[in-house]
Amino acid sequence: MSRLCEGRVAIVTGAGRGIGREHALSLAWHGAKVVVNDLGGNVDGTGGDVSPAQQVVAEIEAMGGEAVANGDNVASWEGAQRLVNTAIETFGDLHALVNNAGILRDRVLVNMTEEEWDAVINVHLKGTFAPSRWAAAYWREQTKAGKAVSGRIINTTSVSGIYGNPGQSNYGAAKAGIASFTVITALELARYGVTVNAVGPVALTRMTEGLASAPQTEEDRELQNPRWIAPIVTWLASEQSAAVSGRVFEASGRMLAVAEGWVRGPQHEPVDDPNQLGPVVAELLAAARPNSGMNGVPGGPPQPRPGQ
């Protein structure tokens, strides 16, 4: 078997459990040296315990790989810098950053508190921005120094964000923001030899187990196994993916797909009188595709389903 990431150095945030753990193990299996980052908190972000990250490091070392644990908070400016520095100081370089860390504070809008909003936005959105910013700064300096760069940023979005899921306005807004962040930073970082992509996983983990009924069969459990997300992330972290940037993928045990972004639909000449807009808007909407449901199909169902 070809080892796609032989000699590369990768950071995976939120890698102590679930999907992140699978990313770290897969990258290590394919030859990457891995910084296993995990604050070790609960699903809602409270608490902290570095032992899950250390356990993943032990698993990687047991398979003959190299890894180091890191317990920094990715939403901390200084913590994100330390995280990136950990890779460079421990392994001498950085090639791939997988932004996977996240929490949930689900609540319908009328009941959501300011703290529940801020906590989720902070971990997901700032926790993607801050490590990416420090990694990008490192790669820019490498480029300025005349070194060839093959950098990869792989972000974690969600079908809850790009399609919409009731009860997750905080989480969905953060994940939709990450999708846009992916597209924009891909344009900015191309000059430095860096690609930026995102993956929207669908898997059963401790974060998603309350969003749908438990799988009833062994086949269902296998299809919802988080291991199905790791292959596309591993490939995106490799040098083989150099021509792919600014794209959002969906991944699960049922499919691998590309999510198509916003496009301009039906249009009309400008109208300067609001009184005339009713029929015009009705005409536009009649010709437009409806919003996609959580299954990614226009007009599809909005009901909750597992998806980080």
Task: Decide: 94 and 88 in contact? Cβ < 8 Å.
Answer: yes
Query: Which of 138, 163, 171, 192 is flagged as catalytic?
Result: 171
Give 79 or 293, the one with higher predicted confidence: 79
Query: Model confidence over 30-45: pLDDT tens digits?
Result: 999 999 999 986 665 5
Query: Model confidence over 144-193: pLDDT tens digits?
Result: 999 999 999 999 999 999 999 999 999 999 999 999 999 999 999 999 99
Query: Model confidence over 206-253: pLDDT tens digits?
Result: 555 555 555 567 777 767 789 999 999 999 999 999 999 999 999 999
**Domain range annotation of the chain:** 9-259
Please provide the average confidence, as pLDDT, over all residues in the chain: 91
Neighbours of 36 (CB within 10 A): 33
Assess whether 171 carries a catalytic annotation.
Answer: yes
Calculate the alpha carbon distances from 284 to 26, 162, 264, 275, 277 in Å.
47, 22, 11, 16, 10
Distance CA 69, CA 34 (A): 9
Question: What average pLDDT does range 267-289 have in this prediction?
Answer: 97
| pLDDT reported for residue 308 | 39
Distance CA 23, CA 152 (A): 14
The fold adopted by the segment(s) 9-259 is Rossmann fold (3.40.50)
